[in-house]
């Protein structure tokens, strides 16, 4: 593939906040951006040079995107992989490619890939009938997490079960014709993630490990560097790089991990794109995850993943009580706090409306300042 130099046009499937931050970085670097997104006035569409307002499966819209762009990516993995295959069939490079997308959007394929690659993963099996539930309880054990194989994010499409009755109820609620997977619930010490990037030439580089705190299955806070041992951090980063290498990913991606006893690392999920837990890279690192995505898909050398300062990143969620965020001016009295708001007009409950990152000399100080800022914010 030839190098795609600034001045070219980059396409992106999806118009959400990840697409918005990608577009901001791409345009800073001198590229034009076109997004294909069905929702009008999308966060990415507000920044992009053009938004094609159409469904991701609209072949005429996909042809238009392909004709207008030099290379294409996507901002989330729940689009139909057939859209990416269609673009590839037109001879248009898409990074990461459709094979990576198919594996990462199907939990059964994803877990099987990880297991076969020799990477640590929770015990699992497919469950498609009540008899499968009984077998899984015996073979894999309880407690467990039952998940839909496809779709679902931020805890949607899954249930934690501790006994046979709970498993049967979860199966009844989640199945409805959808394939399910039974995973052993891991008694983890911490949830971690590593954003990494792999270039077309196979070179790869991982960012520092993020220590993640979730509230109601939604990422609340990410701390970098993670408060774990050097050995565990090295293992987490090498695991992330191994995932990218064995999948053949081109682009930025994230590997979500569990830290278990004895500095053990298990893989939870793969996201073949920039990730919420990597938003700190915009302000705390030499080269952000979004710039890395641009560099990789365009065949440019990867940038430095060095973190310049410890940081705490906090998601700003809507609460359904109004669409104006008050207290931003007060929070910004902290000079090392940086706000990112996504241009969404409706602050529905639990909707990701933005994030902020606080830099400090220690991660504990960054966290304390981040918590103080949160206390000042309110929707109205």
- pLDDT digits 0-9 by tens, 132-174: 999 999 999 999 999 999 876 666 789 999 999 999 999 999 9
Q: Is 261 exposed, middle or buried (0-12, 13-18, 19+ CB in 10 A)?
A: exposed
CB 330 within 8 A of CB 295: no
Mean of per-residue pLDDT scores for the chain? 96
Q: What is the model's pLDDT at position 302?
A: 98
Per-residue pLDDT of 265-284, as tens digits, reads 999 999 999 999 999 999 99
Q: What is the model's pLDDT at position 177?
A: 79
Per-residue pLDDT of 192-235, as tens digits, reads 999 999 999 999 999 999 999 999 999 999 999 999 999 999 99
What's the alpha-carbon Rg for the chain, to the nearest Å? 21
Give the mean pLDDT of 112-136: 95
Q: DSSP strand E in 164-203: where?
A: 180-184, 190-198
User: Of the candidates 107, 95, 77, which has an alpha carbon nearest to the alpha carbon of residue 244?
Assistant: 95
The distance in angstroms from the start CA to the end CA of the chain is 50
- pTM, 2 dp: 0.96
Query: What band does 301 get if pLDDT is binned at 50, 70 and 90?
Result: very high
Residue 155, SS3 per DSSP: coil
Query: What band does 1 get if pLDDT is binned at 50, 70 and 90?
Result: low
CB 184 within 8 A of CB 144: yes
Could you give the CA distance from residue 283 to residue 356 in angstroms, rounded to a whole number? Answer: 10
Per-residue pLDDT of 28-80, as tens digits, reads 999 999 999 999 999 999 999 999 999 999 999 999 999 999 999 999 998 99
Domains and CATH numbers, the chain: 9-94 (3.40.50.20), 123-184 (3.30.1490.20), 190-379 (3.30.470.20)
């Amino acid at each position: 593939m030839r190098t795609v130099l600034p001045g070219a046009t980059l396409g992106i499937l999806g118009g959400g906040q990840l697409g918005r931050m990608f577009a901001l970085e791409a345009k800073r670097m001198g590229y034009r951006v076109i997004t294909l997104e069905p929702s009008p006035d999308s966060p990415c569409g507000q920044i992009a040079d053009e938004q094609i307002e159409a469904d991701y499966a609209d072949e005429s819209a996909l042809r238009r995107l392909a004709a207008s762009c030099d290379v294409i990516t996507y901002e989330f993995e729940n689009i139909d992989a057939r859209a990416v295959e269609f673009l590839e069939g037109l001879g248009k490079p898409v990074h990461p490619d459709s094979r990576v997308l198919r594996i990462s959007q199907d939990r059964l394929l994803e877990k099987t890939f990880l297991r076969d690659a020799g990477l640590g993963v929770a015990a699992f099996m497919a469950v498609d009938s009540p008899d499968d539930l009984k077998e899984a309880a015996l073979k894999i054990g309880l407690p467990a997490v039952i998940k839909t194989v496809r779709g679902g994010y931020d805890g949607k499409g899954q249930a934690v079960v501790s006994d046979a009755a709970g498993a049967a109820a979860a199966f009844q609620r989640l199945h409805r014709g959808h394939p399910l997977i039974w995973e052993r619930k891991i008694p983890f010490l911490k949830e971690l993630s590593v954003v990494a990037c792999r270039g077309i030439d196979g070179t790869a580089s991982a960012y520092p490990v993020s220590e993640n705190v979730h509230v109601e299955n939604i990422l609340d806070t990410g701390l970098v560097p993670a408060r774990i041992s050097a050995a565990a951090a090295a293992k987490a980063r090498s695991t992330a790089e191994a995932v990218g290498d064995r999948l053949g990913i081109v682009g930025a991606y994230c590997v979500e991990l569990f830290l278990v006893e004895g500095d053990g690392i298990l893989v939870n999920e793969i996201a073949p794109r920039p990730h919420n837990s990597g938003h700190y890279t915009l302000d705390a690192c030499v080269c952000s995850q979004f710039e890395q995505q641009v560099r990789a898909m365009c065949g440019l050398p990867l940038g430095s993943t060095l973190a310049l300062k410890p940081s705490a990143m906090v998601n700003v969620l809507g609460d359904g009580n109004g669409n104006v965020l008050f207290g931003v001016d007060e929070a910004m009295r902290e000079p090392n706090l940086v706000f990112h708001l996504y241009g969404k007009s409706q602050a529905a409950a639990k909707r990701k409306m933005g994030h902020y990152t606080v830099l400090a000399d220690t991660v504990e100080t960054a966290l304390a300042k981040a918590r103080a800022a949160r206390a000042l914010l309110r929707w109205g």
